[in-house]
Amino acid sequence: PARPPAGRTWLAACRKAIRPRAQVAPGIDAMGEKSAASSLEGALVGLIADEDTITGFLLAGVGNVDIRKKTNYLVVDSKTTVKQIDTAFKEFIIRDDIAIILISQNVANMIRSSIAKHTKAVPAVLEIPSKENPYDPNADSLLCRVKHIFGCS
């Protein structure tokens, strides 16, 4: 595959490729009228993960930058603080345009209390594995809730 220009990462190249675009509110068509479809039509996926995971999703077309230059992702690296991760998570759960939040399981473990406090169905919080950390079903908050509901141990 092609390599990014010297000194630039894939993530930087992807960020440059994403241009800000105006968003039509969920459930509102281009003419400003209520659409018959679900109010989640056109909703985004929020991402909180390592650079490789974010880059993959950006290359798949999941990335978005709105007119206020707000992104729907947070790249977590060794310099990212738990407070920054928690703040991004809290911003994503109150945004009307995000329907699902994908978070690397190792990152989710850092803010487990905030994830546990989120009880709404939308946005759904789904934990995903990362390259360095395999998926642990016992640590997945959603899977634990489902097991609890169905009485599984």
Could you read off the pLDDT of 80-135 as tens digits, one per residue?
999 999 999 999 999 988 999 999 989 998 998 998 898 888 899 988 988 887 77
Q: Which pLDDT band, with edges at 50, 70 and 90, does 142 fall under? A: confident
pLDDT of residue 129: 86
pLDDT of residue 84: 95
Neighbours of 127 (CB within 10 A): 22
Q: In this structure, are residues 63 and 14 in contact, taking their beta carbons and an 8 Å threshold?
A: yes
Tokens coding 116: 């546990």
- Residue 151 parent element (H or E): none
pLDDT of residue 101: 94
Cα-Cα-Cα-Cα dihedral of 76, 80, 83, 87, to 10°? -40
Would the pLDDT of 57 be above 80?
yes
pLDDT of residue 30: 45
Distance CA 35, CA 142 (A): 31
pTM of the model: 0.67
Mean pLDDT computed over every residue of the chain: 77
Instruction: Identify the residue whose tokens are 């360095």.
Output: 132
pLDDT of residue 131: 81
Q: In this structure, are residues 126 and 105 in contact, taking their beta carbons and an 8 Å threshold?
A: no
Mean pLDDT of 42-63: 90
Strand partners, 125: 101
